[in-house]
Amino acid sequence: AKGLGRAGYQFYAAQQSERARERVLLEGDLRRAIERGELELHYQPKVDMRTDRVVGAEALLRWHHAERGMVPPDRFIPVAEDTGLIIPIGEWVLRTACTAATHWNRTRRARGQEALKIAVNLSPRQFWSPHFVAMVRAVMHETGCRPEWIELEITESLLIDTRGQVSEILAELSRLGFTLAIDDFGTGYSALGYLTRFPISTLKIDRSFVNEVATHPARASLVRAIVAMGHSLQLELVAEGVETHEQVQVLREMGCQLAQGWLYGRPQARALFEAAHAPAELP
């Protein structure tokens, strides 16, 4: 607000308090969103670019607010994180994704198809809830879901946290059979040491790099370097936000195998994803 002048400052202050008021309103509504059944998971296909086969999906949270309509996750997830509501919401997300994965993979197995791997986003805050691993185990037990059907997406910020617990929790999750992916790779911290310190399986190359991979040579060089590093560390690579055939061509040529993005499919409600990728009846 520096140098705005009096009118400018008043405007700024009004905007800030409007934002604070908005957060308080959202928080109250978010508390009731689970019980009111306003949350929904959508699933975005993850595709093997060499075969065009769907190998999995990412579960993405949607909130259908009674009066406001769709509230985007970038608006309400920060509120959920600040207030701790991400803990019950995150548990609901995991249970819902595991229920779907179990159902889909049973029908796929009956049809002789490979299992889909479903990616679930985790907030750092969830790791600090006292019974996180116990909660995860309970959900797996309850839903009959196998850990190898689930990939847990974490952010780089979690890995640079110095609290010792992180590495114990990640090791425990890995021992249980979950794979771990680093989300938005390349946008966070450049300390790469953590890649060998933690049991990471997958790097998800951030959309901001993928966006320009076919049009911006310097960006392409960065992605090429990420892919080369990933290969030498035996990590799986997923390009996020793939929107064009040109991007696919470049990424494929670099040796990046997996992709998500609007070119292959937008996130869709369970019934639609299911009809396309795990139909109970043969068509």
Among 243, 244, 252, 272, binds ligand C2E (CB under 6 A): 243
Stretch in the footprint of ligand C2E (CB under 6 A) among 20-28, 134-142, 160-168, 260-268: 260-268
**What whole-number distance in Å separates Cα of residue 243 and Cα of residue 195?**
28
Say how far residue 145 (Cα) sits from the centre of its chain.
18
What is the per-residue binding string for ligand C2E in 125-164, x denoting contact by CB under 6 A?
----------------------------------------
**What whole-number distance in Å separates Cα of residue 153 and Cα of residue 230?**
16
Between residue 69 and residue 108, which ones bind Ca ion under the rule CB under 5 A?
none
What is the per-residue binding string for ligand C2E in 182-221, x denoting contact by CB under 6 A?
-xx-------------------------------------
Q: Bin 112: left if φ > 0, else alpha if -120 < ψ < 50, else beta.
A: left
Residues 85, 134 contacting (CB under 8 angstroms): no
Residue 260 binds Ca ion, judged by CB under 5 A: no
Q: Which is nearer to ligand C2E, 9 or 262 (CB)?
A: 262
**What whole-number distance in Å separates Cα of residue 132 and Cα of residue 91?**
9
- How far from 189 is each of 17, 21, 37, 157, 159, CA to CA, in Å? 32, 32, 37, 7, 10
3-class DSSP assignment, residue 47: strand
Among 105, 121, 202, 247, binds ligand C2E (CB under 6 A): 121
Give the footprint of Ca ion on this chain (CB under 5 A). 121, 153, 183-184, 240
Give the footprint of ligand C2E on this chain (CB under 6 A). 44, 60-61, 72-74, 77, 93, 121, 123, 183-184, 241, 243, 260-262, 267
